[in-house]
A and B are shown apart, each in its own frame.
Chain A
Amino acid sequence: MRRLDRTTAVLLGALVALLALGPVLPKWAVFLVTVALAKGLVALGLLVLMRAGLVSFGQGLYYALGAYAAGMTVQALGVGDAVPMLLLGTAVAAGAAGLLGLLLARYRTIFFAMLSLAFSMILYGLLVKSSALGSTDGFNVVPRTVLGLAASRGGIYGLAVICCFAAALGVHLLLGSPLGRLAPAIRDNELRVEYMGASVRNAVHLFVVLAAALAGLGGGITALAVGHIDPEMAYWTTSGEFVFVAILSGTGSPLAPFAGAILLELLRSFAYEYSPNTWQMVIGGAMLLVILFLPAGLWSVFARRRRAA
């Protein structure tokens, strides 16, 4: 039997632990973890992009597309099962990236960040003006079943955990593959990559589509968990929050974005409850501290300890 590498083992452990904890956790915790995991998925996509040296300030676009598409499967197609809803959300997001990526893959650094922001704001504008989609109010999403079983908070939680496990494992395998190894090469020296016969643009396009698919899946899960969708999901501040999670967590491991997202949700819930006028300050302050003192994110603390041991 092949020995599992550490990351895969930890992922499996996390999967089992989270599924086992599900029935035992209080309702607010189940909800919080589900929403956090969904955001973690978006941040996971950002992790892949950041490995290649790209930061997108517009993942809200795919997040919103995933959510709205998932919502539309009930409205327009009458399909009420969570799984097709998520599949459609992911597919629509990936499809959008397939198209937009043709343009986006030509840009880097600030321009990549700004162009992705622009696209998300265009969607925001479209959604706000679209009365069919509920305009600024958005609309409600209520899945009827999860894989045939009646939909419940626990069911959606379980589905989210499984999706995140699969995504994290997939990204882990990708990063260890030749394409994954190409990412830091692209980040360091694109010219050299081209001069060794690989297409940087194709690789970047692929990463953009992958990140979009993950964001779409995250958006779909959020829609299912929260039960409501609105254009705010495409607003630039939502995208900024995802970037924050990615920075906070660091790019060291596919597990990091999920841990970081859960931490942020906990932080936000408590900060908002105790002082609604300062929670942004707390998050901003935390981000500054991380950027200044832990540039590789919080995960680097664990990585350092492991190497020292």
Chain B
Amino acid sequence: MGDLLAVVVDGLIYSSWLFVIAAGLTIIYGVMRILNMAHGSLYALGAYAAASLVGVWMRGGQPPFGTYLLLVAAALLVGLVMGPLVERGLLRFTYGRDEVVMVLVTYALFLVLEDVIKLIWGVESYFVTEPYGLLGTFELGPLSYPVYSGVLVLAAVVVGLGLRWGIYGTRYGKLLVAVIHDREMAAALGIDVRRVFLVTFTLGTTLAALGGALTAPTVSVVPGMGVEVIVLAFAVVVIGGMGSMQGAALGSLIVGVVRSAAVHYLPQVELFSIYLVMALVLAFRPRGLFVAPEARKI
């Protein structure tokens, strides 16, 4: 019984982590049709930025509880700087190209950013312990969990609800949906598609950085930390159905629980359980779980 509870709770925590990262990837793909491989580097940038900000803050003798705000601040900083920089500085020259070419462009960007990170922060590890340690642990039946895990779950819920409200509840969200469905038509109706792209990419970047910033307290921040994250996020997005937010949420949940089950019952498959799920889902639902209907071709 304790085992099952552990699988579910572990799964939930892991799913939350995945969702925060996958959400940014999903929204960028949904609106811009770009599968952003640099998402992993932006995630890493968020973690490094968090490490630096918290480091400066703590060295300045400030109250440790402020570090939580710093995590969010780090994400915003990275998002607001890198989002426009990448979108205006690179991506906008490639719009209209084939989807797979866009993957290659973002892959090249990922390679560049990985080294940029090394140039700025060097190759040593950073630690951001305060936000994690401060909250202590809580008991859940026979199990003990760090309270910080709850922060992750909370963040996922906030992001999910926030995006849902943003997309379906606001006027700007409706413009977003129009662009998602038909870029050309939206432009013909007077929507500033370029501005929508800029905002979307910045939002997606911020979410990636948020994922990294929130993760920083739980791992050692090292070069290459984004490499594995990219393929995990991809798997979630593909499972859910490219560009679907419900899909990202459900996909995160499925992947999280499956991986958690693997860790507890079949550790040999833990590393690739997510890819197995992806292959299985694609075998039965070739375009993922939630697919937008397509207009007929002939």
Per DSSP, are chain A's interface residues mostly helix, strand or loop, or mixed?
helix
| Residue among B35, B270, B298 making CB contact with A110, cutoff 8 Å | B35
Most chain B CB within a 10 A radius of its CB, from A118, A128, A279, A292: A118
Whether B170 is near chain A, meaning CB under 8 Å from some CB there, is: no
How long is the Cα–Cα vector from A95 to B56 in the complex, in angstroms?
Answer: 56
Name the segment of B3-11, B13-21, B66-74, B281-289 touching the other chain. B281-289
Known: A117-B231, A122-B272, A237-B227. A110 touches B103 (CB 8 A): yes
| Residue among B108, B119, B234, B282 making CB contact with A288, cutoff 8 Å | B108
Q: Say whether A125 contacts B275, CB under 8 Å.
A: yes
Q: Say whether A110 contacts B108, CB under 8 Å.
A: no
Known: A122-B275, A124-B271, A291-B105. A106 touches B286 (CB 8 A): yes
Whether B242 is near chain A, meaning CB under 8 Å from some CB there, is: yes
| Residue among A115, A278, A281, A288 making CB contact with B279, cutoff 8 Å | A115
Known: A124-B271, A277-B115. A114 touches B93 (CB 8 A): no
Interface string of B60-82 (1 = CB under 8 A from A): 00000000000000000000000
Q: Say whether A115 contacts B35, CB under 8 Å.
A: no
Q: Say whether A281 contacts B115, CB under 8 Å.
A: yes
Within 8 A of A (CB), among B191-209: none
Known: A107-B286, A110-B103, A191-B297. A277 touches B119 (CB 8 A): yes
- Tally of contact residues, A, Cβ under 8 A: 41
How long is the Cα–Cα vector from A11 to B220 in the complex, in angstroms?
Answer: 51
Residue of B nearest to A247 (CB): B104
Q: Shortest distance in angstroms between A6's beta carbon and chain B's nearest beta carbon?
A: 29
A-B Cβ contacts below 8 A, count: 114
What are the residues of chain B within 8 A of A110 when measuring CB–CB? 35, 99-100, 103, 238, 242
What are the residues of chain A within 8 A of B51 when measuring CB–CB? none
What are the residues of chain B within 8 A of A106 when measuring CB–CB? 286
Residue of A nearest to B111 (CB): A284
Residue of A nearest to B90 (CB): A288
Within 8 A of B (CB), among A237-281: 237, 240, 243-244, 247, 277-281
Q: Shortest distance in angstroms between A7's beta carbon and chain B's nearest beta carbon?
A: 26
How long is the Cα–Cα vector from A115 to B101 in the complex, in angstroms?
Answer: 17
Known: A106-B286, A124-B272. A115 touches B278 (CB 8 A): yes
How long is the Cα–Cα vector from A288 to B283 in the complex, in angstroms?
Answer: 33
Residue of A nearest to B109 (CB): A284
User: Can you list 17 A-B pairs with a CB-CB distance of less than 8 A?
Assistant: A110-B238, A111-B286, A113-B103, A115-B278, A117-B234, A121-B231, A122-B276, A125-B271, A240-B107, A277-B123, A283-B108, A284-B107, A285-B108, A287-B104, A287-B107, A291-B104, A292-B94
Shortest beta-carbon contacts, A-B, top 8: A125-B272, A284-B111, A125-B271, A281-B115, A287-B108, A284-B112, A118-B275, A284-B108
User: Interface of A with B (CB < 8 Å)?
Assistant: 55, 57, 103, 106-107, 109-111, 113-115, 117-119, 121-122, 124-126, 128-129, 191, 236-237, 240, 243-244, 247, 277-281, 283-285, 287-288, 291-292, 295
Beyond known contacts A113-B103, A125-B275: 20 more, CB 8 A cutoff: A113-B100, A114-B278, A115-B278, A118-B278, A118-B282, A121-B272, A124-B272, A125-B271, A191-B297, A191-B298, A237-B227, A244-B104, A247-B104, A277-B115, A280-B115, A281-B116, A288-B112, A291-B94, A291-B101, A292-B93
